[in-house]
Amino acid sequence: MSKQTIIILKETKNKIGSKDDIITVKRGYAFNYLIPQNIAELATLGKIKQLKVFKKAKEQQEEKLKRQSDTTISILQIITKLNIKKRIGENKQIFGRVNEKEILKQIVKHINHQLDKKNIHIPEIKRIGVYIIKIYLFSSLTANLQLNIIPEITEVNI
């Protein structure tokens, strides 16, 4: 008759489980391998209670982020396109490059809502034209915006 013990995993292991899972394993496996290798720790009532509190707080935080992302997506769907003026040279190539900071500036100007520039993915832009940019918000929520790069009118162009 083998005795079982309850442990909490500190890291994800393929065949055992993922981080913060509470599992039951054989006593020898826990005390001879998992605990000495710092993969798991013994599950006490206090640690289990603390883990449940942290999981609940994390779920609430994720729910809040999801709600904010939903409202942001609905606002971004209203815009659908952005215009950015750039100086052009020969062959309709632009000087410099369009970066996330410029796009964020345009978005904030339109929707009055701040985004993180890490969430914006833009293609390489070297010419005037129409491009599609992706804005990643919450895990699988994305929004596509049309980005129009238009020439800045100067005396040289005329």
CA 100/CA 113 separation, integer angstroms: 15
> Among 3-12, 47-56, 92-101, which is the least confidently predicted range?
92-101
- pLDDT of 53-100, one tens digit each? 999 999 999 898 888 878 877 777 777 788 888 888 877 788 888 888
Query: Do 137 and 143 meet the contact criterion of CB atoms below 8 Å apart?
Result: yes
User: Is residue 28 located within the same domain as residue 99?
Assistant: no
Residue 40 pLDDT exceeds 90: yes
Of 6, 8, 13, 12, the closest CA to residue 54 belongs to 8
Q: What is the DSSP pairing of strand 129-136 with strand 142-151?
A: antiparallel
User: Is residue 111 located within the same domain as residue 141?
Assistant: yes
For a pLDDT cut of 90, what percent of the chain falls above it? 34
Q: Is residue 157 part of a domain?
A: no
User: Is residue 78 located within the same domain as residue 33?
Assistant: no
Q: How far is CA 96 from CA 29, 85, 106, 153, in A?
A: 60, 12, 18, 16
Whole-model pTM?
A: 0.59
Give the domain CATH number at 17: 3.40.5.10
User: Is residue 10 located within the same domain as residue 76?
Assistant: no
User: Is residue 31 located within the same domain as residue 84?
Assistant: no
- Say which DSSP state 15 is in: T
User: How many structural domains does the chain have?
Assistant: 2
Residue 112 pLDDT exceeds 90: no
Q: Is residue 156 part of a domain?
A: no
**CA 61: distance to chain centroid?**
14
Domain hosting residue 125, numbered range: 64-151
pLDDT-derived band at 143 (thresholds 50, 70, 90) equals confident
